[in-house]
Chain A
Amino acid sequence: HEQRGESDDQSWRTPMKDLKMEEESSGVEKLEPGTTFPPTFSVSEIKNKQRRHQMFMKLKQEKRKQKMQLKKKRRKEREALGDKAPPKEVPKTIENQRVFDETTVDPEDEEIAFDEGTDEFSAYFNGLTNPKVLITTSDRPRGRVVKFCEQLATVIPNAHVYYRRGLALKRIIPQCIARDFTYLIVINQDRQTPNGLVLCHLPDGPTAHFKVSSVRLQKELKRRGKAPTEHSPEVILNNFSTRLGHTIGRLFAALFPQNPQFVGRQVATFHNQRDFIFFRFHRYIFKNEKKVGIQELGPRFTLKLRSLQKGTFDSKYGEFEWVLKRHEMDACRRKFQL
């Protein structure tokens, strides 16, 4: 579909070339489609902007026409075949094209089952401990952070909010352990909104550091329901597929008591999509067997994992199991960690 010839090899013929150009430009609209041009021609080599633009538009039109023709042909074939038509092609999405991660958990993997039976959460999953959560902030919490903490405390059962008042985390942690807390949540703020979350599983548990974004408090939600009640909610964890994802998933699961009270009809969802974890809190109602209505209560926010540390919070000497390294991990659009 090249309509005008102007190849690189003939650049030394500059005066001749100009003449040629003018001749051809006058007849540009009347060119037959059959004229051939040297194959090394490309539209971007025409120096004149208007002509280049014209050529480009023409090129586009041609392409579009061919595409439409192809489409029509395919449709006709499809109709003709009727039942025997090949199944419709599934479009490519990022999730479809995801680079296969070798740490993806196979549901029947024994090694993983064994690991999970003996890791730091096993006490919780075996029903030995009840979660007790301490929510705190960085120094001098302001504005939305305070409200966010309070709302989180209503959403997570058995959660207590304490103000920091300048205490060092490393000193808080042994005190918490002494008082039987299982979780420590520290919310970091930047200009009066929360922007970071440190989730520390207390008796020697892993510490996860997240970046928090798009926080919507209860007031800001549209079509909101009433305040969350005291019943323990159910937990939904979606799309945590790799080993790392599994660990994080268990981290979230252990926040809530083991036996949800279905009477309360509340559900907390942690949905992982492309390494962003979306948290939502809903109240559901089953209208009948096949339909459920959900109504959003509670705050919503998204988390992105920044680092996972083996022991309790220790930024200098801790053993980091996983750290977000932007250049390696964010380079490929189809590669995800969780």
Chain B
Amino acid sequence: ICFLQVIWDIIGNKQFCSFKVKTKSQNFCRNEYSITGVCNRSSCPLANSQYATIREEKGQCFLYMKEIERAAFPARMWEKVRKLSKNYEKALEQIDENLIYWPRFLRHKCKQRFTKITQYLIRMRKLVLKRQRKLVPLSRKVESREKRKEEKALIAAQLDNAIEKELLERLKQGTYGDIYNFPVYAFDKALEQQDAESESDAEEEEEEDDEDVGQREFVAEDEVEESDLSDFEDMNKLKTSSDEEEQDESSEEEEEEEVQASRSKGKSPANGSLVRKKRAYVEIEYEQETESASRRRTT
């Protein structure tokens, strides 16, 4: 009996072949010398004494041939022929030349395989020229660290206040020209008057600290500067959405109040906004008398 037939009997269907990969529909051959990847009687390199393959290394194709005469010498079994020509047609001719008088099946399959290989080599070369997507790995630690820093920077930035300040400064400097006409002189006068009164008011306000401290909610944990006071006041205004025209505040005033009345940071904003709220209902001349009236109203 032909020993190759025996080999195929064993590894083909009945027993184990280490190169065989079984899937639902088909069996594949993982042998590197296999010409088609399918596990067939005619394309099994182990079960055929005369066999040829095309293999590709680093862009160059080689023709490997196996002959019966060398079956006893495994080290010399596969004969390697170098495909000298990069030219597709010449290479096909070379295959034909080498595999002359070989069975048609092998010749055909070799040429097919060679064609496929050249095609994918061409595609690889083209892809390299196109834009390649570079994957940049993210380090989790770094990302979370940056995220935390960003949050803290956001809190420290106090964006709304910064923007408002900037806009007010631009208004002061007159970059807006004549679009907005606010009565500047009356405002300045009122400013000076209030400056004079703020010192006398400061002592009265201190008594109210304890009542109102608990009622305020503070947005930022860090130091509450006078810009935050304007923030609170703005929120009040936005919520109530009432236009109170005689809202004469100045930043200097608030500073003075703070310095005089401040014992601890937590109390001063309550102080400041309290004062302002009182001022809302009060006209300038009658400041001292109606203080008590507005106090009753707010508390």
Contact = CB atoms under 8 A, between A and B. Distances in A.
**Interface centre among B133, B142, B167, B187, by most A CB within 10 Å?**
B167
Contacts of A234: 170
B222 interface: yes
A294 B182 contact: no
Contacts of B133: 139
Contacts of B154: 273, 276, 278, 302
A49 interface: no
A269 interface: yes
Which of B160, B166, B184 has the most chain A CB within a 10 Å cutoff?
A: B166
Interface string B201-214: 00000000000000
| Interface residue SS majority, chain B | helix
Interface in B151-195: 152-154, 156-157, 159-160, 162-164, 166-168, 170-171, 176-177, 179-180, 182, 184, 187
13 contacts: A88-B259, A91-B223, A93-B223, A213-B150, A234-B170, A274-B153, A284-B164, A286-B182, A291-B249, A293-B234, A293-B237, A302-B150, A304-B146
Interface string A233-271: 010101000000000000000000000001100010101
Contacts, number: 102
A262 B176 contact: yes
A95 B156 contact: yes
A147 interface: no
B227 interface: no
A282 B167 CA distance: 11
Contacts of A222: none
A231 interface: no
Contacts of B250: 290
Given A234-B170, A290-B247, A294-B167, 8 more contacts: A93-B223, A269-B159, A269-B162, A273-B156, A282-B163, A284-B167, A294-B163, A294-B164
Given A88-B262, A293-B238, A271 B157 contact: yes
A168 B133 CA distance: 11
Interface in A126-166: 139, 166
B245 interface: yes
A287 B156 contact: no
A75 interface: yes
